[in-house]
Structure 1
Amino acid sequence: MKAAIITTYGKADVLKLEERESPVIDKNEVLIKVKAAGVNRPDVIQRQGKYPAPDGAPKDIPGLEVAGIIECVGADVKQWKAGDQVCALVAGGGYAQFVNADAGLCLPIPEGFSFADAAGLPETMFTVWNNVFQRAHLQKGESILIHGGSSGIGITAIQLATYFGAKVTVTVGSDAKGQACLDLGADNYINYKTHDFEKELIESPVDVILDIIGGEYFDKNLNVLRPEGRLVYINAMKGNIVSLNLGKLMQKRITLTGSTLRSREISFKRNLAAELYKKVWPILASGHFKPVVFATFPLNEAYKSHELMESSQHIGKIVLEID
């Protein structure tokens, strides 16, 4: 099979198309003929040598989410058969013509979704559902601040939070990105290049914050949270070492949490997939969620997808389409 390989750690152009052996599946896995693969920031960090793949995943083939057609199934797989169209969360190897996936981490492609649309679902859906709804317990009538509102995570969090009745504010890097977020259901946006979100929200604090930035945002986040607020970290692009005022944390009774997904145990991810299928997939099927694919690239131009990701000019998902 052909795959986009990290030939050495470095800039985007280290991604090269090469031949590799197709994966061998175990009894609980399926082999997927990949039609599209989502591009995510962890892929970029892996390419830079700062995010090694977990044991059992390909070390030099990035890609955490795919959509395609099941080629064959393992001996113990009962819920899928060859020919089924699925999207799947994988621990790596998605930038390839074939990838193996745990059967429990596959979900059917929603009606009306293309392969490219569906390839952008697993990583963001798993992440947002776990962190916003399971960990932060966002409720109807509450408010949430989403940093990076125009990212793949952001556009997913906006739409799910809005669907379940929360008020949504996002931070973005341009007014065009802000308008895109409003179009998806956000109530308000703050352009962080022209306005300080702390000053904007200090008089109207929020219940939940989903943060990918870290660094200097940390104390500002605490300041704009209501009592009993929940602050959730899923990345720390601007620094993971911060100073915490414990008095502020205690006085407001703030819950501080965070998570990563890739290294979690398979059983956790299977349970998460089952809950998504029950509670979120009907929303997708009903047409109340809009997939936002900003750009697609062929597999041999995977490096261009990383260049776009690093430019932060995109709104929504970047996807590789694989022939």
Structure 2
Amino acid sequence: MSLTMRAVLSDITGGKGPATALHITEIPKVTPSNGEAIVKIKAFGLNRMDLLQRTGHYPVPPQAPKTLGVEFSGTIESLGEGCKDGFKVGDEVFGLAYGGAYAEYIAVNAHMLLHKPSHVSWEEAAGVPETWITATQAMYLVGGFEEGKSILWHAGASSVSISGIQLSKIGGASKIFVTAGSQEKIDFCVKELGATAGFNYKTQNWSEEILKATDGKGVDLVVDFVGANYFQGNLDVAARDGVIVHLGAMSGTKLPAGVDIGAFVRKRITFVGSSLRSRDVNYQRKLRDKLETYLPQFEDRTLKLYVDKVLPWENIVEAHQEMEKNTSKGKIICTIS
């Protein structure tokens, strides 16, 4: 058995650099710790955190390897001591890891694996874990969503929001709003996914439009990945006793002058920052168990899995460049053959 494996690394000092620095090379093959499985990877999904980590702007948890990637699909090659989740060698699985998915093999806690349904492709499965778990966490564990509440998903055509819109719909949201940067993306969110309405942040004042659409009430839950540029708008659009869940800062973390925080008191707004990757395995396992309940709805297509592009992992530079364009609707997936 080989003692090495291929993986994607960066040739920039410190592992930080542009997409063009990424390349496939040989590294020592991973070995399982207690409770871990070794999975031979068929496909892995790209996430915006990968871009941030590549450029040195993501707080990587201490247990994460330097290899990028947190979600994958593949087959179990071996099981370490202490694996008690009912898996066996040869099982087709998909799962979530702290890192290391841009590689031929990954060592991952068996608590974070799921059996891959036969009707779900390797490519689709590789794009499920981070996306659907993050949306579930933002809605329920952090945002306290309940049937009948209204919700706003920023970056509506992003993979997390695509999942979140669908979860909001089956969860009984009264209204589902989105923001996006093109009419094509808005039409996708409304006509394909079932959002109530969408607003183009490039051409419209989205907070004013949502207030009009809700007769001034606003929305009960806001899920935001944008950060500084949307901070005031989120406060304006949040309903009384509303919750704003902050998951990212694509526009930066420094607030512009003149931001009015009066709504925190006036409307009793709760602002919650959260992340998934820094959580412990037991927390993530609860979310994995929730994800498992969605599998029948993936099978009957009540919940749809959207893959925008599939590229061989030899084209990892192109894959990262595609994500940087911010034009995709759904996941960008790389396959390993």
Q: Smaller-chain TM-score range? A: over 0.9
Alignment partner of 1:172 is 2:180: yes
1:195 and 2:199 aligned: no
Contact 2:30 2:106 in 1 (8 A): yes
Residue 235 (structure 1) aligned with residue 269 (structure 2)? no
Change (3 A) 1:277 1:164: same
Question: 2:94·2:116 contact (CA, 8 Å) conserved in 1?
Answer: yes
Contact 1:147–1:170 (CA under 8 A) maintained in structure 2: yes
CA distance in 2, matches of 1:258, 1:84: 36
Which of 237, 240, 245 is the aligned partner of 1:224? 237
Give the 3-state SS of the residue equivalent to 2:153 in structure 1: strand
SS in 2 for 1:308: helix
The alpha carbon displacement at 1:62 in A equals 0.4
1:52 deviates by 4.9
Map 1:149-168 to 2 at 5 A.
149-166=156-173, 167-168=175-176
SS of equivalent residue, structure 1 residue 99: strand
Distance 1:261 1:282 in 2: 24
Matched, 1:264 2:270: no
Q: Percent identity?
A: 36
* 2:7 aligned with 1:6: no
| Greater mean deviation of Cα atoms: 286-295 or 243-252 | 243-252
Superposition pairs of residues 40-79 of structure 1, within 5 angstroms: 40-59=47-66, 61-78=67-84, 79=86
Where 1:226 maps in the other structure, the secondary structure is strand
Relative to the length of structure 1, the TM-score reads 0.95
Greater shift in the superposed pair: 14-23 or 284-293: 284-293
* 1:208 Cα deviation from its structure 2 partner: 0.7
For residue 231 of structure 1, give the secondary structure of its aligned residue in structure 2: strand
Which amino acid in 2 is paired with 1:184?
L
2:289 aligns with 274
Which residue of the partner structure matches residue 269 of structure 2? 254
User: Which residue, out of 199, 206, 212, partners 2:225?
Assistant: 212
Measured on the aligned residues, the alpha-carbon RMSD in Å equals 1.4
1:285-296 equivalences under 5 Å are 285-296=299-310
Gap regions ≥5 residues in structure 2: none
Whole-angstrom CA distance in 2 between matches of 1:58 and 1:245 = 41
Match of 1:321 in 2: 335
CA drift at 1:111:
4.2
- Give 1:299-318 correspondences, 5 Å limit: 299-318=313-332
Q: Secondary structure at the match of 2:310?
A: strand
Residue in structure 2 matched with residue 29 of structure 1 by the alignment: 36
Between the two proteins, the alignment pairs up a number of residues equal to 321
Q: Give 1:42's aligned amino acid.
A: M
Give the CA deviation at 1:10.
Answer: 1.5
Secondary structure in structure 2 of the residue aligned to 1:56: coil
Specify the code of the residue in structure 1 equivalent to 2:316: A
CA distance in 1, matches of 2:52, 2:21: 13
- Between the aligned partners of 1:273 and 1:149, the Cα distance in structure 2 is 23
TM-score, normalization: structure 2?
Answer: 0.92
In structure 1, stretches of 5+ residues that fail to align are: none
- The answer to whether the 8 Å contact 1:116/1:321 transfers is yes
Contact 1:111-1:285 at 8 Å conserved across structures: no
Counterpart among 165, 184, 195 of residue 186 in structure 1 = 195
- Does the aligned pair in 2 maintain the 1:64–1:90 contact within 8 Å? yes
The equivalent residue for 1:107 is: 114
* 2:73–2:125 CA contact under 8 A, matched in 1: yes
Give CA deviations for 1:29-87 in whole Å, capped at 9, x if unaligned: 0111100100001101111122253223221x100100111111112113211111111
In 1, the alpha carbon distance for the partners of 2:176 and 2:260 equals 27
SS, match of residue 241 in structure 2:
strand
Deviations 1:163-217 (A, max 9, x none): 1111211111111111111211212111111111012012311111100001121
CA drift of 1:282 comes to: 3.4
Give, in angstroms, the shift of residue 102 of structure 1.
0.6
In 2, Cα distance between the equivalents of 1:22 and 1:109? 24
